[in-house]
A and B are shown apart, each in its own frame.
Chain A
Amino acid sequence: MVFLLQKTLIFTVPLLIVALAGMYAERSGIINIALDGIMIFGAFIGAVFALNIRNIPWFAEHPQTTFILAMLTAAIAGAIFSLLLSFSAINLKADQTIAGTALNMLAPAIALFFIKVFTNQDKLEMAIAKDSQGNMVDFGYVIHNEGLGSIGSILFDRAYLSTYIAIALFIVFSIFMYKTKTGLRIRACGEHPQAANSVGINVTKMRYLGTTVSGALAGFGGYVYIATVTNGTASGAVEGMGFLALAIMIFGNWKPFGIALGALLFGFLKCLGVIYNQLSVNIGGEDVYLLKSLNLPMYFYNMIPYVAVLAVLAFTSKKSRAPKAEGIPYDKGSR
């Protein structure tokens, strides 16, 4: 059970933070379908940074510092990359879906092109060492705290610093969106930019802010994803995580609480598909593998999260409400 919850947390964190990233862009009125691409780009730059900085002995000896710096780099890279989207969507009033699709194609192309030119491989691996079976071990940034008891070890054993940072960021940015003046202005630009402009809010600036924060969070999320879920391998793909985050954002009704709930549910179901045959319950001193004994194929468990999201959407769709002005380029003259 502890193992299951630990794994759930690992799957949930990138989804949580990237779905929040999507929320920031869409509440400001820009559809950010490029989340996937920004994640890939952030992950790629973060991995390149981490691999290079490790050549300096001091950083190699302080893996946690390196980890934090790499996350920061990934966030900055994501923010810069998202400027491409902002420029085309805000300044040139281009179709936001097209720009997002282009970014989704651009990021893996850039990442794979440079990875292959410089390493002659299709991926970057960040593990320091490999064990005898060729599995990657020892990243230097996994926190081990054995013997804490069940609840303690869910949060603090085999954990990553990124988990705490991500949760903290999620709370801070949720509060920022709802309790500050700037947050209110961003939301106003997503609902009715002309009205916002009439009371002196600079719509262009607010939309740039929204997408840039979105890009930074998505880049950060991308690096967290490759550092935790894929065992430190940047391969120019994040298995459609960005699109899933987008789905969770819609699922969560463009609100932080809904997003957190959706990410937890989805993360739990998704990790169930990965580790279902390792789950055991101790009954009378004997390990009983409940799900494994059902003899259903892995594909069945893999499918559950997607079916569950569809089912929930089917029942809750009437309440769903997207930001009114999302996807519409701001035109000062229109009503």
Chain B
Amino acid sequence: MKKDIKEKTSFGVWLKKFVSRPGVKSVISSLICILGGFVVGFLVLLILSISSEDIDFADSFRGLFIILGGPFSAGNRGDALYQFGNMLFNCTPLIMTGLSVALAFKTGLFNIGAPGQYLMGAMGSLIVALSIPTSVIPPILVWLLALLVGIAGGMIWGMIPGLFKSLLGVNEVIVCIMTNWIAANIVSWVFSGSQFINVAETKMNFIKKTSVNNVMTPTLGLDKLFSDGSLTSYMDIGIFIAIAIAVVLYIMLNKTTFGFELKACGFNKNASKYAGMNEKRNIMLSMAIAGGLAACGAALWCLNGHQDFKWEVYQSLPDVGFNGIPAALLGGCNPIGTVISAIFLRYINAGGSNLVGQTAFNEYVSQLIIAIIIYFAGFAKFIKDVVIDKWIAERRKKSAAAPAKNKPDGGKED
């Protein structure tokens, strides 16, 4: 009996210690945000199904389960595999734009310019991949060159807001917004009437697939693994490259002097300057790397070889650029966290697009849920500092009170 109580309290102590670790706290608060997002999203479906006569009441529950199922709610096993492969492929650019935003955040910059950097990267890699003949140079070298040129394009584009911010003191948000639209117009201008337009398949709004020039990201058979039998998915090794880059970034930020300088610059620009760091150089480099990351995502997407890149982008910027912001925020601006949150966001999106055929709802539900999750993510600090700490304090009180009843002399040990 006595032993039993002791075990319970020691588990309680362990739980308290475990929960009060900062990393665990962050994860728990993210999970609370996600739960909140789903609850609100489900309430919207429920209210809609109750108030509308056309929508069946059971649809709201079915809708929730379909979203929770992600790509696996596709119906049969083949479709699910196919969708899962595509989901992983679509994660790649989102992870990269998320990393781009996260890195800039660490340096105290808000990189809302990821769409523009993404477009510049797409343009650079597409031009190289389509114009160098693979009969002369091996395709894998062209692929590598295209990837590097794309990244370089994005780095230059990301450097512009960095230069404006560090040398002229202009707010980076405004410069990013302007450069986004400038990039969109440059890309449209360069591609309009060019030889790169997909005339052969009469897809005049799109650029040729890089597979016509045999330039494709290696798939290692993954595309065939994730297929519904007849159609192979777009899956390739891009996502592993993205994850590897995330790990490198994590190490850079946490284990190197340069990473420390970037973070110091983000915490307090003046203090880091006082400590002898070159804060202007750090801002420029941080933005350039962020630009390169976003562009790398674009290059990996385009160089898959089977994607239609819409070249007339001057009226709408690519969504994946902006979606990097929620991916970074939900991941707590930690590179590894960003990877996980990007995969999660794509998972929900895949579930959302499965809603269309199966219920009266549509894919925008998943966006709604994501938006609410991000809204709650804003409270993450509040949840961490107030809700979880309060819970810990309450447990401490209880555990202090409970043994006190049983053995009056042992109550003070806590």
A residues at B contact (CB < 8 Å)? 33, 84, 88, 92-95, 97-99, 101-106, 108-110, 112-113, 116-117, 237, 239-240, 243-244, 246-247, 250-251, 297, 299-300, 302-303, 306-307, 309-310, 313-314, 317-318, 320, 322
Given A99-B378, A113-B368, 20 extra CB contacts under 8 A: A33-B173, A88-B375, A92-B382, A94-B381, A97-B110, A98-B375, A101-B374, A102-B377, A105-B374, A106-B375, A109-B367, A109-B371, A113-B361, A113-B365, A116-B362, A239-B316, A240-B317, A250-B173, A299-B189, A313-B174
Q: Which of B180-188, B234-242, B280-288, B290-298 contacts A (4 or more CB under 8 A)?
A: B180-188
Question: How distant is the Cα of A104 from the Cα of B372 in the complex, in angstroms?
Answer: 11
B185 and A102 contact, CB distance less than 8 A: no
B370 CB within 8 Å of chain A = yes
Question: How distant is the Cα of A103 from the Cα of B370 in the complex, in angstroms?
Answer: 11
Question: What sequence of 0s and 1s flags, for each residue 358-386 of chain B, a beta carbon within 8 Å of any chain A beta carbon?
Answer: 00111011011011101101110110000
A102 and B174 contact, CB distance less than 8 A: no
Q: Name the A residues within 8 Å of B271 (CB-CB).
A: none
Shortest distance from the beta carbon of A125 to any chain B beta carbon, whole Å: 18
Shortest distance from the beta carbon of A26 to any chain B beta carbon, whole Å: 11
B315 CB within 8 Å of chain A = yes
Question: How distant is the Cα of A306 from the Cα of B360 in the complex, in angstroms?
Answer: 42
B329 and A98 contact, CB distance less than 8 A: yes
Q: Name the B residues within 8 Å of A94 (CB-CB).
A: 378-379, 381-382
Q: Name the A residues within 8 Å of B175 (CB-CB).
A: 310, 313
Question: How distant is the Cα of A208 from the Cα of B169 in the complex, in angstroms?
Answer: 30
- When A94-B379, A314-B170 are in contact, do A113 and B364 touch as well, CB less than 8 Å? yes
Question: How distant is the Cα of A250 from the Cα of B52 in the complex, in angstroms?
Answer: 45
The 3 A-B pairs of least Cβ separation, nearest first, read A102-B375, A94-B378, A105-B371
- The binding surface of chain A is classed by DSSP as helix
B326 CB within 8 Å of chain A = yes
B residues at A contact (CB < 8 Å)? 44, 48, 52, 55, 110, 112, 164, 168-171, 173-175, 177-182, 185-186, 188-189, 192, 314-317, 322, 325-326, 329, 360-362, 364-365, 367-368, 370-372, 374-375, 377-379, 381-382
Question: How distant is the Cα of A314 from the Cα of B364 in the complex, in angstroms?
Answer: 40
Closest to A307 in B: B182
Q: Name the A residues within 8 Å of B169 (CB-CB).
A: 317-318, 320
Closest to A308 in B: B178
A239 and B379 contact, CB distance less than 8 A: no
A99 and B375 contact, CB distance less than 8 A: yes
Shortest distance from the beta carbon of B254 to any chain A beta carbon, whole Å: 22
Q: Name the B residues within 8 Å of A322 (CB-CB).
A: 171
Question: How distant is the Cα of A299 from the Cα of B44 in the complex, in angstroms?
Answer: 42
Q: Name the B residues within 8 Å of A97 (CB-CB).
A: 110
A84 and B362 contact, CB distance less than 8 A: no
Question: How distant is the Cα of A302 from the Cα of B361 in the complex, in angstroms?
Answer: 37
- When A109-B364, A313-B164, A313-B170 are in contact, do A302 and B185 touch as well, CB less than 8 Å? yes
For this complex, 24 residue pairs linking A to B, each with C-beta atoms less than 8 Å apart, are A88-B379, A92-B378, A92-B382, A94-B382, A95-B378, A98-B374, A98-B375, A103-B371, A108-B367, A109-B368, A240-B180, A243-B177, A246-B174, A250-B171, A250-B174, A251-B174, A297-B192, A299-B185, A300-B185, A309-B174, A313-B168, A313-B170, A314-B170, A317-B169
Q: Name the A residues within 8 Å of B48 (CB-CB).
A: 117
Interface centre among B110, B316, B325, B372 (most CB of A within 10 A): B325
Question: How distant is the Cα of A217 from the Cα of B170 in the complex, in angstroms?
Answer: 26
B375 and A300 contact, CB distance less than 8 A: no
A309 and B178 contact, CB distance less than 8 A: yes
Given A110, A237, A246, which contacts B173 in the complex, CB threshold below 8 Å? A246
Q: Name the B residues within 8 Å of A297 (CB-CB).
A: 189, 192
Question: How distant is the Cα of A299 from the Cα of B186 in the complex, in angstroms?
Answer: 7
Question: How distant is the Cα of A94 from the Cα of B365 in the complex, in angstroms?
Answer: 25
Question: How distant is the Cα of A68 from the Cα of B182 in the complex, in angstroms?
Answer: 36
- When A93-B382, A240-B181, A247-B178 are in contact, do A299 and B188 touch as well, CB less than 8 Å? yes
Question: How distant is the Cα of A102 from the Cα of B370 in the complex, in angstroms?
Answer: 8
Shortest distance from the beta carbon of A52 to any chain B beta carbon, whole Å: 15
Shortest distance from the beta carbon of B371 to any chain A beta carbon, whole Å: 4
- When A94-B378, A95-B378 are in contact, do A101 and B325 touch as well, CB less than 8 Å? yes
Q: Name the A residues within 8 Å of B173 (CB-CB).
A: 33, 246-247, 250
- When A94-B381, A317-B168 are in contact, do A102 and B182 touch as well, CB less than 8 Å? no
Shortest distance from the beta carbon of B370 to any chain A beta carbon, whole Å: 7
Q: Name the A residues within 8 Å of B326 (CB-CB).
A: 101-102, 105
Shortest distance from the beta carbon of A304 to any chain B beta carbon, whole Å: 9
Closest to A303 in B: B185
Question: How distant is the Cα of A152 from the Cα of B362 in the complex, in angstroms?
Answer: 49
Question: How distant is the Cα of A29 from the Cα of B177 in the complex, in angstroms?
Answer: 22
Closest to A88 in B: B378
B178 and A106 contact, CB distance less than 8 A: no
Q: Name the A residues within 8 Å of B316 (CB-CB).
A: 237, 239
- When A239-B316, A299-B188 are in contact, do A117 and B362 touch as well, CB less than 8 Å? yes
Shortest distance from the beta carbon of A178 to any chain B beta carbon, whole Å: 23
Q: Name the B residues within 8 Å of A113 (CB-CB).
A: 44, 361-362, 364-365, 367-368
Shortest distance from the beta carbon of B361 to any chain A beta carbon, whole Å: 7
Given A98, A104, A112, A237, which contacts B378 in the complex, CB threshold below 8 Å? A98
B329 and A101 contact, CB distance less than 8 A: yes
Given B168, B180, B192, B372, which contacts A314 in the complex, CB threshold below 8 Å? B168
A306 and B182 contact, CB distance less than 8 A: yes
Closest to A322 in B: B171
Closest to B189 in A: A299
Question: How distant is the Cα of A297 from the Cα of B312 in the complex, in angstroms?
Answer: 13
- When A297-B189, A299-B188 are in contact, do A244 and B379 touch as well, CB less than 8 Å? no
- When A246-B173, A299-B188 are in contact, do A105 and B367 touch as well, CB less than 8 Å? yes
